[in-house]
């Protein structure tokens, strides 16, 4: 059974509100930053790799009253706020050593993905990684699931995808993958083991 993991809230914690609060101390600014930066199409275009970071910073600055330097600081703080989830990191190594094929499928900005690769060494346990900024499409678009299976020669019925977003799970299931939603980042590793045991690949 192939296991495919998302990064945000599956391998690494992802809390946008905490990210914003680390740069903007006042609640009013935090609400503006969430709307002007994270809840914009620019964010998704960065995920797609179709927008460069400086342009995204400029656009957020022009649409809001926020200082450009703070907007830039917010974007550059994204990687450090994607802190690894200890239980999942342990599970990744254990499963890889046990011969379970592990892959990554994630939406991610280019600068964040590059820094995560440089910062952590557990990526070595994955047989393949497919990150949105490198391929021009994002979850939950069906194209990214097709590309995942094509690139790594995965049979959808023999592959389980774990993601924290219900819409991504639903899209993966519609494509034909098995998929599970990780609703609690702390319990993600236990969920992976439970699913493997259910399909006969016990821990």
The CATH number covering residue 192 comes to: 3.40.50.1000
Please write the tens of the pLDDT for every residue from 25-40.
Answer: 999 999 999 999 999 9
Q: 202 pLDDT band (50/70/90 cuts)?
A: very low
What does the pLDDT average to over 100-122? 97
Helix (H/G/I), strand (E/B), else coil: 33 = helix
Same domain, 57 and 138: no
Same domain, 9 and 20: no
Say whether pLDDT at 199 is over 80.
no
Same domain, 68 and 49: yes
Q: 126 pLDDT band (50/70/90 cuts)?
A: very high
What's this model's pTM, rounded to 2 decimal places? 0.93
pLDDT at 13: 97
Same domain, 88 and 149: yes
Please write the tens of the pLDDT for every residue from 80-95.
Answer: 999 999 999 999 999 9
Q: 203 pLDDT band (50/70/90 cuts)?
A: very low
Q: 200 pLDDT band (50/70/90 cuts)?
A: low
Q: Give me the number of domains the chain comprises.
A: 2
**Which of 46, 80, 114 is where one domain is finished?**
80
Please write the tens of the pLDDT for every residue from 4-63.
Answer: 999 999 999 999 999 999 999 999 999 999 999 999 999 999 999 999 999 999 999 999
Q: What percent of the chain has pLDDT over 90?
A: 94
Same domain, 121 and 174: yes
Same domain, 92 and 63: no
Helix (H/G/I), strand (E/B), else coil: 178 = strand
Q: Beta partners for 12?
A: 8, 84
| Contacts made by residues 145-152, CB under 8 angstroms, sequence distance 24+ | 145/105, 145/171, 145/172, 145/175, 145/177, 146/175, 148/4, 148/103, 148/105, 149/177, 152/2, 152/103, 152/127, 152/128
**Which of 80, 111, 135 is where one domain is finished?**
80
Domain that holds residue 190: 2-13+83-198
**45: in domain:** yes
């Amino acid at each position: 059974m192939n296991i495919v993991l998302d990064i945000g809230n599956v391998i690494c914690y992802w809390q946008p509100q905490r990210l914003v609060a680390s740069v903007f101390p006042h609640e009013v600014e935090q609400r503006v930053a969430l709307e002007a930066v994270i809840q914009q199409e620019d964010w998704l275009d960065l995920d797609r790799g179709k927008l460069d970071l400086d342009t995204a910073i400029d656009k957020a600055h022009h649409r809001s009253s926020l200082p450009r330097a703070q907007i830039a600081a917010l974007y550059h703080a994204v990687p450090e706020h994607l802190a690894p989830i200890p239980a999942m990191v342990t599970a990744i190594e254990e499963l890889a050593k046990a011969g379970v094929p592990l892959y990554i499928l994630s939406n991610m900005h280019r600068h964040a993905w590059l820094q995560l690769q440089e910062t952590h060494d557990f990526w070595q346990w994955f047989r393949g990684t497919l990150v949105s900024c490198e391929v021009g499409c994002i979850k939950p678009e069906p194209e990214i699931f097709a590309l995942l299976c094509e690139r790594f020669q995965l049979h959808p019925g023999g592959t389980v995808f774990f993601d924290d977003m219900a819409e991504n799970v639903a899209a993966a299931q519609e494509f034909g993958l098995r998929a599970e939603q990780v609703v609690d980042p702390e319990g993600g590793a236990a969920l992976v083991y439970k699913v493997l045991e259910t399909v006969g690949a016990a821990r």
